[in-house]
Structures are given as structure tokens and as C-alpha cells.
Amino acid sequence: MKSMGKLLLGAMVGFVTAYGILSFSDFSFASDFIIIVLLVLSALLISMSLVRWSEVKKLYHYKAEGETEDSAEERKYKKFADYSLYTNAGLVLSLLALSLSAILSNHTILFIFAASLLIIHGLLVCLTRIFFVSDNTFIRNEI
């Protein structure tokens, strides 16, 4: 039931966004501009998530004892939370850009770029599930 509510909320947000963009259809550049902004934000989130990935990896290999171990675990948890946020938000933005470019834009390059960003974000989400478990440790020793 909770998932259905989230699905309906997402559908409403998507409908309102698409309707708002279509209402500005008098401006020929409006839809392309919005798609380009979404793609830039998605690419920025990819780079930020890769930086967080490397920071979490470094913290995993950091050996500490006592109180410094607790602070290292806390930092690792915060970095991983940031990484997850960046990856999942970028996935949503790239999916939105892909959908809008398929509906509104006549430029094939925007569609291809949005599809490639969506694939990259999907791979990052898969990496999260492969290499991390719920307590923020790596499943494998090396990446």
C-alpha cells in the first residue's frame, strides 16, 4: 500500500511537470533547456557520487582502534549516505530527462545522452547493491 502511494505521488509529479512544460510550448527552446538542465544536474550527481565512492573505499581500508574507529565508522556511514542520495537522485533526474526528451524534444542527441546517463546511474545503483551490505561494509575485500 505504501508503494502504491509513492507510485501515485510520482505519477502526479510527473504529470504536473509534463503539463507545465507543455503549457510553455510557445517557447521552442523551453523543453530543450529544461532537458539540458536535468542532464547537467544528473552528470554532476554522477561525478559527486564517484567522489563519495572513492572516499568510502578509502575509509574502508583505514585501520583504526578505539575512539578513532568509531569516528571513522561514523564518517563512513555519512559518506555512504551521501553516495546513496547522489546516486538515487541522479537516477530519478536522468529518468525524467529521458522521458521528457522522448516526449518533447526532436533532438536525438538529447535522448541518447539521457539514456546513457540513465544507464550509468543504474550501474552505480547496482554497484551499491553488489559491494555494500546494510551495515556499510564491503562484501568483497577489493574493488
- Indicate if the pLDDT at residue 105 is higher than 80: no
Three cell numbers written together for 89 = 537522485
pLDDT at 106 over 80: no
pLDDT for 43:
92
Instruction: Please give the Cα distance from 93 to 78 (Å, whole number).
Output: 22
**Is this structure's pTM higher than 0.85?**
no
Q: Tell me the C-alpha distance between 50 and 143, whole Å.
A: 13
The predicted pLDDT at position 41 comes to 92
Dihedral sign from CA coordinates of 19, 24, 27, 32: negative
Query: Residue 40: what pLDDT?
Result: 93
In this structure, are residues 72 and 124 in contact, taking their beta carbons and an 8 Å threshold?
no
**87 vs 127: which has the higher pLDDT:** 87
